[in-house]
Structure 1
Amino acid sequence: MCTNKKELILGNMKAIIEYNSRKITIDVSEPIDISIALDVSKENVNAWYVGAPKIFPVDFDGEIAKVSEGAVVNFNNIHFNPHAHITHTECVGHITEEFHSINQNLKHYFFVAEVVTVAPESSGKDFVISEKQLKTALRNKKRDAIVIRTIPNLKEKKSMQYSNTNPPYLLEEAAIYLREKGIKHLLIDLPSVDKEKDGGQLLVHNAFWNTAGIVRLDATITEFIYVPNAVEDGEYLLNLMIAPFENDATPSKPVLYKIIK
């Protein structure tokens, strides 16, 4: 948890933040946005067998709320699914009968994160991320969040049509390892941490949120990120920004800041 003690040095745009008794310096002029936008002007990223998102002006009895159509304002409706169309952050309410809201459960927004690059391993017809791979990447580091970039890391990830493609996923053992290591926030550049078609088991979601024990209500999973190749593996300050939706999941905008010291 981040304390409220911080200092902004405006001259060189550096922020000094006291985080768990540690002073962290970041350059706030160089944010690294790892979200994928919803953009209907081109092929939008998509998964889970739903149609494309839509943004369209309201029709008031034949009067189109669009300035180019003679209106005084642009007044658009947006039709999308956060799990299918955009970078999103979800809480345990995604898989529970009881309602849990990401807006209520995520109360802090700055975390020390480790960016790791992983090449999913072949396992039969699947490609998976194992406990061993994450142990090798994290070693003895203490982090609140992990940001997983899979390779190959092509820009096409921003427009991939994932339905019925069996994308890579985490093994249950990997989720248990992250949970036991104290990772509260798991971010990945895939449509899901689980296998696309697993008979409804959702092994990784359940293991990470510990639904068989004391449920981790304050833990989150963020899917559909994109970490540019120029971003090096290592330690960052993560600002996990979400839209205030009272829902199991919401569009989000995770931003990384390189830690200077």
Structure 2
Amino acid sequence: MLAKINNFEIDLSKPIDISISLTNTEENPIAWYIEKPVIEPVVFGDWIGKVSEGKSSTNFNNIFFNPHGHGTHTECLGHITNDFYSVNQALKQFFFFAKLITVEPEKIGEDLVITKDHISTSLNVTNASTLLTEKTEAIIIRTLPNQKDKKSRKYSNTNPPYLSEDAATFIRESEIQHLLIDLPSVDKEHDEGKLLAHKAFWNVKDTHQLNADARFEATITEMIFVSDEIPDGNYVLNLQIASFENDASPSKPILYSIVNY
């Protein structure tokens, strides 16, 4: 089934899911020093909310998880601010023109870093303003090496690659509103709470007293997985979240190829 968005056609029958599902098994990815998610039936006395146990007509589970540490999630600037801001209020549109790029982080000291040059080269631009004519509203960053174990990796205390402050600033100055990446964070794991890339992307200068030009509608989506079979290029992104009034929500980003690009 074809749909038209701003004179571009997309095939809705061929969605490309770049999210990682949440499970209560060892296959679930984990970051930030927490345990795996818990999915278990409700128990009231001798009643168990599980059909296979023979005492319930329905499966009735509780789920305990952390959106930041247990899989694909989308966050708003409320993730780093003193005052509360909800991603459910920040994200009000869900379809965007997106560009998928692949980068190999650069070894800098003990770190692997995605630099401004990585981003500008992959986008084939040197000046952020040139992107404004390309309708690029979201950027999706796939990092190399791109092993499938990203879908189950245990990231805690591994110092994963991250985005430099200059790279995040370049993306912001390109007026890209939505940043998606296949890492647990755009920032360094142990950074003394500086959160330079988060702050640069959201244009947050003071987390206790927000500046008027902070980017309330911009989002960061982390812990995606983009298989090697999906080529770099232009897509339409459908960014789906659950309706949590929280700084972050588990999310399901879906790509659609542009038929007539």
Q: Normalization by structure 2: what TM-score?
A: 0.92
Residue aligning to 2:241: 242
The structure 1 segments of at least 4 consecutive aligned residues displaced by more than 6 Å after TM superposition are none
Shift of 1:99: 0.3
Task: State whether structure 2 residue 197 is matched by structure 1 residue 197.
Answer: no
Distance 1:196 1:17 in 2: 38
Shift of 1:40: 1.6
Choose 234-243 or 141-150, whichever is displaced more. Answer: 141-150
Distance 2:25 2:48 in 1: 19
CA contact (8 A) 2:25 2:36 kept: no
1:96 is aligned, of 81, 100, 105, to 81
CA offset digits 1:36-88 (Å, max 9, x no partner): 00012442100000111110000011211100111110000000000000100
Residue aligning to 1:3: none
Residue aligning to 1:9: none
2:9 partner SS = strand
How many residues in Structure 1 have an aligned counterpart in Structure 2? 245
In structure 1, list runs of 5 or more residues that go unmatched.
1-12
Residue aligning to 1:209: 202
Shift of 1:116: 0.1
Distance 2:89 2:4 in 1: 28
Residue aligning to 2:97: 112
2:142 partner SS = strand
Distance 2:63 2:219 in 1: 25
In structure 2, list runs of 5 or more residues that go unmatched.
206-210
Residue aligning to 1:227: 226
- Letter aligned with residue 45 of structure 2: D
Write the mapping of 1:1-261 to structure 2, written as runs, cut at 5 A. Answer: 13-18=1-6, 23-70=7-54, 71-138=56-123, 139=125, 140-141=130-131, 142=134, 143-212=136-205, 213=211, 214-261=213-260
2:243 partner SS = coil
- Letter aligned with residue 137 of structure 2: D
Distance 1:52 1:233 in 2: 32
- Letter aligned with residue 233 of structure 2: G
Distance 1:144 1:201 in 2: 26
Distance 1:111 1:65 in 2: 40
CA contact (8 A) 2:26 2:36 kept: no
- Letter aligned with residue 168 of structure 1: P
Higher strand share: 1
Shift of 1:16: 1.3
Distance 2:26 2:259 in 1: 37
Distance 1:33 1:172 in 2: 28
Residue aligning to 1:8: none
1:78 partner SS = strand
- Letter aligned with residue 123 of structure 1: I
Q: Equivalent pairs: percent with the same residue?
A: 58
- Letter aligned with residue 67 of structure 1: V
Shift of 1:157: 0.2
Residue aligning to 2:208: none
1:84 partner SS = coil
Q: Normalization by structure 1: what TM-score?
A: 0.92
- Letter aligned with residue 93 of structure 1: G
Distance 1:211 1:42 in 2: 36
